[in-house]
Amino acid sequence: MKRMMKQQQMPPRKTRRLSRAEVLKVIAGLGNPGQQYSKTRHNAGFWFLEGLAAQAGVTWVFESRFEGRVAALSIAGGRVFLLQPQTYMNHSGRALGKLVRYYKVYPEEILVVHDELDFGPGLIKLKKAGGHAGHNGLRDIIAHLGSRDFYRMRVGIGRPEGMKKVSDYVLSEPSAQDKQAILTGFEDYFACLEQLVSGDIEQVMNRLHSK
């Protein structure tokens, strides 16, 4: 007679506590790979991470398993992964999804840096959750994460004048003045990076959004 094996019960799944300070573990900058796109407005997220990595003195490595360039930054007593997806903008979520699943990162521990048409060049604001507002990079990230609860850093690039198509505008270079305004705007967030990473995001928002 075969001995019946006692079925082992799975432990109950832990509930995520959203009330505590949310520490950032991944900062993803959005853009398109390749030299032909490197200076275009749509790569504002890449610009932020490139400036941050240069200031911190960290090295980028292409990780094929994540389909992106990755750098690790030690700050606030922990480690933060910087990610530049190399999948092109419309498939940004594929790269980010692979990295956060591997390291078991929650959506609210992610900051996505992207270009924002609704703000003028140099105006940068943080936001938690929300929709994609037609931004294809955000659209794909929401689809792959199955959540909208990640933080966003919205980097103002302004809107095109006249009848110029948005697609042509975001894939063209800004004026030298507009580019400098954006890079100058980054400096405030570089200075507050430790606060951002350690969970004081609301304080940073209150401080920088009132400027």
The end-to-end CA distance of the chain, in Å, is 78
Query: What span, in angstroms and rounded, lies between the C-alpha atoms of 111 and 108?
Result: 8
Annotated catalytic residue: which of 42, 114, 135, 144? 42
Query: What span, in angstroms and rounded, lies between the C-alpha atoms of 182 and 39?
Result: 12
Q: H helices of 112-165, where? A: 136-145
Q: Which two tokens stand for residue 157?
A: 């690039």
Task: For residue 135, indicate whether it is catalytic.
Answer: no
| Nearest residue to 127 via CA among 95, 155, 158, 96 | 155
Active site residues: 42
